[in-house]
C-alpha cells in the first residue's frame, strides 16, 4: 500500500468534512443539558441492596426471626461488602476521559477485573456457611412441633438462590465489561 | 465568553476531527451519530478541566478515542438519537470522493484499535510527542509502533 495514497484519502475526508455546515443546534443544546457525572450501575445496585439489607436485618431480629449474633455478623458482612465494592470500583470511577491515556485505562481495567474475580473466591466460602447459619437460626429454632425444620428453610433457600443469581449476574456483567475494554485495547 | 458559547465554537471548529475519529471506529452512519453525540457529551462534561496545558486537538483526540473505547453500548441505545445534520454519509454516498474515503475506512479498519488510533493521529499530522501523550507511551515507542504498522499496512 502506498502511504501517499493513504494521506491523500485522509485529506479528501478532511476536505469533505470542512465543507459541511456541522451539527445541529439541537444536538448541541441536548449535549449541554446532559448532567455531569458518571454512574456505575453495578456499584449502585450493590449499594441499594446493602442499604435494604441493613434495614431488614435489625427488623428480622426485632420480630425474633434471627438471633442477635447472626444479625450482627450479617450487618458486618454487609458493611464489608459495601466497603469492598467502593474500594474495587474507585479506580474505575476515577478514570478521567480527559486526562487518562490508553495505557492507564488498560491498567485500571485489568486491576478491576482481577479484583472482581478474586472477590468471588473469597465470598463463596463465606456465603455458604452464612446461609446454613440463617437456616439454622430460622428453621431449627422456630419450627413448630411436628414440622420438619427443612420446610421452614425453603423460602430462605429460594431467596438465597435468587439473590445469588442476581449477584452473579451483576458480577459477570462487570467482569465482561472490563474484559471487553481490555480486548479492544489489546486487539 | 459564556461556557456554552465557547463549547459551541469549539465543536464547530473541530467538527471534522471529532467526526473523523467517530467514523473510523464505526460500522455504519447510526453508530457514527451515536459516538459523535457521546463524544460531545464527554467533552461537555470535561470542558472545565481543559486548562490549555495541551493542544486542543490533542485533548479532543483523547476524549473521542476514549469515548469510542469505553462507550457502553447498551446504555447508548437508550439515548435519544439526534441527527448531526451534516450532509454527508460516507457509508452510502457514491461519488468518487466517498469511494476514496470508504477505501481509507476499510484499510484502517483492518487494524486493531490502538494501531488505528495511532495511524489516525499520524495522518492528522500530530507529533510523536502528542501521539504519545494520548496513548500513554513514549515518543520513541510511537515511532517504533508506527514503523511496525506501516510494514503491516504494506502487506495488506
In tens, the pLDDT along B16-25 reads 888 888 888 8
Within-domain flag for A3:
no
CA distance A3 to chain B (A): 8
A187 touches chain B (CB under 8 A): yes
Domain that holds residue A86: 38-186
Nearest by CB: B20 against A6, A14, A26: A14
> Is the Cβ pair B45, A30 closer than 8 Å?
no
- Chain A partners within 8 Å of B38 (Cβ): none
Q: What is the pLDDT of residues A150-178, one digit of tens each?
A: 888 888 889 889 988 988 888 888 788 77
Considering the domain boundaries, does residue A122 fall inside one? yes
In a domain, A27, yes or no: no
Segment B56-101, tens digit of pLDDT: 888 888 888 888 877 654 444 455 566 665 666 677 677 777 788 8
Residue A13 counted as domain residue: no
Q: Which residues contact A101 (CB under 8 A, 6 or more apart)?
A: B62, B133, B134, B135, B136, B137
* Cβ <8 Å between B117 and A102: yes
Confidence of residue A76 (pLDDT cuts 50, 70, 90): very high
CA-to-CA dists, residue A114 to A40, A167, A182, B69, angstroms: 18, 17, 12, 20
Q: B7 and A98: CB-CB below 8 Å?
A: no
Percent above pLDDT 70 for chain A: 83
CA dihedral B72, B74, B76, B81 (to 10 degrees): 170
Beta carbons of A12 and B85 less than 8 Å apart: no
- Is A27–B80 a contact, with Cβ atoms under 8 angstroms apart? no
Residue A20: inside a domain, yes or no? Answer: no
In-domain check, residue A2: no
- Encode burial over A162-184: b for 16+ CB neighbours within 10 A, e otherwise: eeeeebeebbeebbebbeebbeb
State which residue of chain A sits closest to B60, comparing Cα positions. Answer: A98
Of B18, B115, B58, B138, nearest in space to A185 by CA: B115
Q: What is the C-alpha to C-alpha distance for residues A165 and A171, in angstroms, rounded to an integer?
A: 10
Domains of chain B: 1-81 (1.10.1740.10)
* Contact pairs from chain A to chain B, CB under 8 Å: 153
CB contact under 8 A, A20 and B36: no
pTM for this predicted structure: 0.63
Note the ipTM here. 0.76
| Count of the separate structural domains present in chain A | 1
Q: Does any domain span residue A9?
A: no
Flag whether residue A26 sits within 8 Å of chain B, measured between CB atoms: yes
Q: For the residues B5-14, what does the mean pLDDT come to?
A: 83
Q: Say how far apart CA A43 and CA A21 lie, in whole Å.
A: 41
Amino acid at each position: 500500500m502506498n502511504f501517499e495514497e493513504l494521506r491523500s484519502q485522509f485529506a479528501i475526508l478532511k476536505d469533505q468534512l470542512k465543507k459541511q455546515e456541522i451539527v445541529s443546534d439541537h444536538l448541541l443544546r441536548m449535549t449541554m443539558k446532559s448532567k455531569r457525572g458518571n454512574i456505575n450501575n453495578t456499584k449502585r445496585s450493590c449499594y441499594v441492596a446493602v442499604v435494604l439489607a441493613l434495614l431488614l436485618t435489625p427488623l428480622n431480629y426485632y420480630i425474633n426471626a434471627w438471633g442477635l449474633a447472626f444479625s450482627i455478623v450479617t450487618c458486618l458482612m454487609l458493611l464489608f461488602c459495601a466497603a469492598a465494592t467502593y474500594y474495587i470500583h474507585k479506580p474505575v470511577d476515577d478514570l478521567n476521559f480527559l486526562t487518562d491515556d490508553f495505557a492507564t485505562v488498560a491498567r485500571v481495567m485489568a486491576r478491576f477485573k482481577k479484583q472482581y474475580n478474586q472477590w468471588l473466591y473469597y465470598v463463596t466460602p463465606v456465603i455458604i456457611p452464612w446461609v446454613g447459619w440463617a437456616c439454622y437460626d430460622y428453621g431449627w429454632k422456630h419450627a413448630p412441633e411436628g414440622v420438619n425444620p427443612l420446610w421452614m428453610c425453603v423460602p430462605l433457600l429460594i431467596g438465597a438462590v435468587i439473590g445469588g443469581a442476581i449477584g452473579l449476574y451483576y458480577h459477570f456483567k462487570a467482569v465482561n465489561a472490563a474484559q471487553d475494554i481490555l480486548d479492544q485495547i489489546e486487539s | 465568553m459564556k461556557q456554552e458559547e465557547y463549547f459551541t465554537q469549539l465543536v464547530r471548529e473541530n467538527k471534522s476531527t471529532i467526526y473523523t475519529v467517530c467514523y473510523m471506529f464505526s460500522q455504519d452512519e447510526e453508530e457514527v451519530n451515536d459516538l459523535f453525540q457521546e463524544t460531545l457529551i464527554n467533552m461537555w462534561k470535561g470542558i472545565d478541566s481543559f486548562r490549555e496545558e495541551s493542544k486542543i486537538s490533542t485533548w479532543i483526540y483523547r476524549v473521542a478515542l476514549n469515548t469510542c473505547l469505553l462507550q457502553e453500548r447498551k446504555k447508548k441505545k437508550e439515548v435519544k438519537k439526534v441527527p448531526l445534520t451534516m450532509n454527508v454519509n460516507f457509508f452510502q454516498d457514491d461519488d468518487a470522493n466517498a469511494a476514496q474515503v470508504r477505501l481509507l475506512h476499510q484499510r484502517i479498519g483492518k487494524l486493531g484499535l490502538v494501531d488505528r488510533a495511532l495511524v489516525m493521529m499520524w495522518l492528522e499530522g500530530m507529533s510523536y510527542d502528542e501521539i504519545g501523550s494520548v496513548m500513554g507511551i513514549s515518543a520513541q515507542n510511537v515511532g517504533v509502533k508506527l514503523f511496525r504498522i506501516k510494514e503491516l499496512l504494506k502487506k495488506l
